[in-house]
Amino acid sequence: MNVLIIGSGGREHSIGNKLKSEGHKIYCAPGNGGIEAIAENVNLNISDFKSIVNYVKSNGIDLVVVGPEDPLINGITDYLQLNGIATFGPTKKAAMIEGSKAFSKDLMKKYNIPTANYQNFTNYDEALSYVENHSIPVVIKASGNAAGKGAVICNSLDEAKSTLKDMMINKVFGDAGKEVVVEEFMIGEEASIFAICSEENYVILPPAQDHKAIYDGDKGPNTGGMGSYAPAPVVSPELLKNIEEDIIKPTLKGMVSEGAPFSGLLFTGIMITKEGPKVVEFNCRFGDPETQVVLPQMDGDLGNLLLKSAKGELNSNGIINSKEGYSVCVVMASGGYPNSYEKGKLIRGVEKFDSNSVIHAGTKIEAGKFYTNGGRVLGVLGYGKTLLEAKKSAYNKVSSISFENSYTRLDISDKGIKRVEG
């Protein structure tokens, strides 16, 4: 099967890795320096849907897999499907489950899907008044797509007021902050659940845990993700079954009822509270960096599932088993990320490792050498029979790679190790 992957980051590199290992021919638009090792990079503007259609039809592409959320929210699946192209990813209407947090929260309320108590606001003064009478901490989210950085945990009233002003008045997230969601702060441990879906049919992949905050101990501002591991021990088989019954099934059924049937990858961020699992947020695509550890643990044929989803032929429900052992991904980021950072730094040592060990996220290649080209630069992978072994494997590789002002968290997977080993 000839597969075109849309995107240029670590998620797309990881999807390409898995599909290539299954014998498929991989193309990636636009790709990055590291993806070149496993795929043919294609210089296409991913916002130019007509050019993508022309390329697909001219090159015998059997399946298009859309990585990032922006083109999904903007309707790429609708456009490609109207042109007879099998496309993995939700329609524009279904992608609202990520594109509007207000929509997703209202969906959960309507269909009794467990989540934090909340209120939506489009008026700044009304939001401010609500926050002034809310308990602290409080969570404030830009309703629109803010590239994974639009949720702020406010630990004081002053911080909450400042956050509201930044989102709604100063527009730090642009139009994404025109509407905000103010919700209660949930206490618990987070997990990421991926389900490949076709309307009310689904297959759930091994659970993972992300590390969103920039600093060790989950301190500092949120990022796109500084590392991950799978399977996450916090999600027991019994808990995963509860998530399936109480969250995945009613969500997919609710989307059908709302006239927005969801086909593609439903990524559910879960908070495991004393009351049980609750939804933190939904995303309409594979998560990054969770994909980097979920797919190596997946005991199944990814290409077949993606194609069935794209064609509406996925007709069974269930949970895919995780392979034996664990996978850990440690992100090497540019100094200054998630704020301003410099690009173009020479990366040393990365050439020693193949795509099973290092996933390229923000890199470019010039004259055979790799340079930084983004905030999150590399995802370094480790594997082991135990989670501790997998962590050591990943950090040993990190120690062999360097670039100016690189930054990594040092505690990726520690929560899971503590849970497993005490």
CA distance 333 to 388: 22
Residues 277 and 308 in one domain: yes
Residue 312 and residue 330 in one domain? no
Q: Output the pLDDT for position 316.
A: 82
- In the chain (422 residues long), the average pLDDT of successive 10-residue segments reads 98 98 98 95 97 98 98 98 98 98 98 98 97 96 87 94 96 95 96 98 98 94 94 97 98 98 98 97 97 96 97 92 96 96 98 96 95 97 98 98 98 96 74
Q: What is the pLDDT of residue 56?
A: 98
For residue 30, the model assigns a pLDDT of 97
Three-state DSSP class for 133? coil
User: Which CATH number does the domain housing residue 408 bear?
Assistant: 3.90.600.10
pLDDT computed for residue 147 by the predictor: 76
In a domain, 229, yes or no: yes
Cβ pair 243, 234 in contact under 8 A? no
Specify the residue for token string 């020479």. 346
Q: Are residues 131 and 157 in the same domain?
A: yes
Residues 380 and 282 in one domain: no
Residue 110 within any structural domain of the chain: no
| Number of domains forming the structure of the chain | 4
Residue with tokens 């960096």, as numbered in its chain: 289
Residues 227 and 312 both lie in one domain: yes
Output the pLDDT for position 350.
97
Domain for residue 105, yes or no? no
Say which CATH number the domain at 163 has: 3.30.1490
pLDDT attached to residue 146: 86
pLDDT at 421 (0 to 100)? 81
Q: Could you tell me which residues come within 8 angstroms of residue 109 by beta carbon, excluding any fewer than 6 positions away?
A: 115
Are 240 and 348 in the same domain? Answer: no
Cα–Cα distance measured from residue 225 to residue 293, given in angstroms and rounded to the nearest whole number: 13
Supply the range of the domain harboring residue 33: 2-92
Contact 72, 87 (CB under 8 A): no
Same domain, 198 and 273: yes
